[in-house]
Amino acid sequence: MKSVTLRKWTLSLFAAISVVGLAACGSQSAPAPSASTPSTTPAAAPAPAPATTAPKVEGTLSFYTSQPDTDAAALIEGFTKKYPDVKVELFRSGTEEVVSRLQAEAKAGQVKADVLLVADAPTFASLKKQDLLLSYSSPEAADIPADYKDADGAYTGTKVMATVLAVNSNKVKTMPDSWKVLTSPEASGKAIMPSPLYSGAAAYNVGVLTRQADFGWDYMQGLKTNAMTVIKGNGAVLKSVAGGEKDYGMIVDYLVARAKTEGSPVEMVYPSEGVPVITEPIGIMKASQNQEAAKAFVDFVLSEDGQKLAASLGYTPIRKGVAAPAGLKSIEEIKVLSASIDELEAAREDDKKKFGEMMGGK
């Protein structure tokens, strides 16, 4: 039955084709349009280009940072609200410990971090030199000043953090205006600073201050002579000054502003000589296993929403057009003490060794 049906269908199709063929032959007697007669048939529209679909942002993202736990958690919450299909795994410690872990992973050929956000540009300059960073020029970086981002896109600053003087206002009635107060008799045994062996900001500060004509290593020796206490990180410095254990502290500005807002008896002083400034850069590891999520994370941190989040946490935003929180100076208002990033990067380990031998520290 099936073969008969197929045969009938084939014959019918052949007959239909024959009729069409005869009709086509009959049409040959019609005159062809002359070359001067334009055709009235419109040209076929070009086929639309296939739509491109952006890679989906999902999976696991490993985030290494030196930010305080609460701030890192707020950043992750803001990001995952926008990208709910990404799970962020956090490793948090001081800059020097974060980088030591990263270096050990790189040596073993097993870098686990996708994104890195730590204290200062010289740290990233060193990682770039080791070819550990992916070049990524985020579209959001267009609104970041050129001085605070790498020309090749290896890293970009995320905020402005000045190191200032914290002063206990219950114990000190006349506010100082100079870094030299830390070497004066009134501050003998009453001052505290973070260790550059742990804190990236402190390592940067030592590098910058020792390269200023008015400070140098003589200033560090003066701190030693005046019984400066060296402790692990900036948070411990704040606790000591706010609690009245010490009168003066060398510390990043946002911690002082935040503590004062919460009612602590602390005042913040921007010394007249100027202040070292770090930008807590962010970068993507070249070995990242989830580059799409890593790029989305960088974009979020640098975006207007990300910068407003930073301001809400008490940081001075680095993006143009986003205001600094109350109590902090904008980058345009700060007198900045600086040194060559390449020089700071090259001398970092020697500076830390010299400081450790001179001052000790935890």
Query: Which tens digit of pLDDT belongs to each residue from 169-226?
Result: 999 999 999 999 999 999 999 999 999 999 999 999 999 999 999 999 999 999 999 9
3-state helix, strand, coil in the chain (%, to 5): 45, 15, 40
Lowest mean per-residue pLDDT among 46-50, 224-228, 305-309: 46-50
Handedness of CA 352, 232, 224, 343 (dihedral sign): positive
Q: Is the pLDDT of residue 277 over 80?
A: yes
pLDDT score recorded for residue 47:
52
Please return the burial class of 190, using the count of CB atoms within 10 Å of its CB with bins 0-12, 13-18 and 19+.
buried
Q: How far apart are CA 2 and CA 68, in angstroms?
A: 78
The yes-or-no verdict on residue 35 having pLDDT over 70 is: no
pLDDT tens digits, 349-361 = 999 999 999 996 5
Q: What is the dihedral of CA 256, 259, 261, 265, to 10 degrees?
A: -90
148 is in an annotated binding site: no
Burial class (CB within 10 angstroms; exposed 0-12, middle 13-18, buried 19+) of 251: buried
Listed residue (129, 137, 81) closest to 103, CA to CA:
129
- Model pLDDT, residue 45: 52
Q: Does the domain made of 160-277+352-359 have the CATH classification 1.10.8.60?
A: no
Closest CA to 315 of 109, 157, 174: 157
Tell me the average pLDDT across 139-163: 96
For domain 59-159+279-328, the CATH architecture is 3-Layer(aba) Sandwich (3.40)
Compute the average pLDDT of residues 47-56: 57
Mean pLDDT of the chain: 88
Q: Tell me if 59-159+279-328 shares its fold with 160-277+352-359.
A: yes
Name the residue with higher pLDDT: 264 or 42.
264
- Delimit the domains of the chain by residue range: 59-159+279-328, 160-277+352-359
Residues in Cβ contact with 121 at an 8 Å cutoff, skipping those fewer than 6 apart: 148, 150, 155, 157, 278, 279, 281, 341
pLDDT for residue 14 is more than 60 = no
Maximum C-alpha span of the chain: 116
Band the pLDDT of 331: cuts 50, 70, 90: confident
Q: How confident is the model at residue 110 (pLDDT cuts 50, 70, 90)?
A: very high
User: Do the beta carbons of residue 194 and residue 236 sit within 8 Å?
Assistant: yes
Q: How much is the average pLDDT of 270-286?
A: 98
Q: Is the pLDDT of residue 5 over 70?
A: no
Q: Which amino acid is at 118?
A: V
pLDDT of residue 46: 53
Give percent above pLDDT 70 in the chain.
Answer: 84
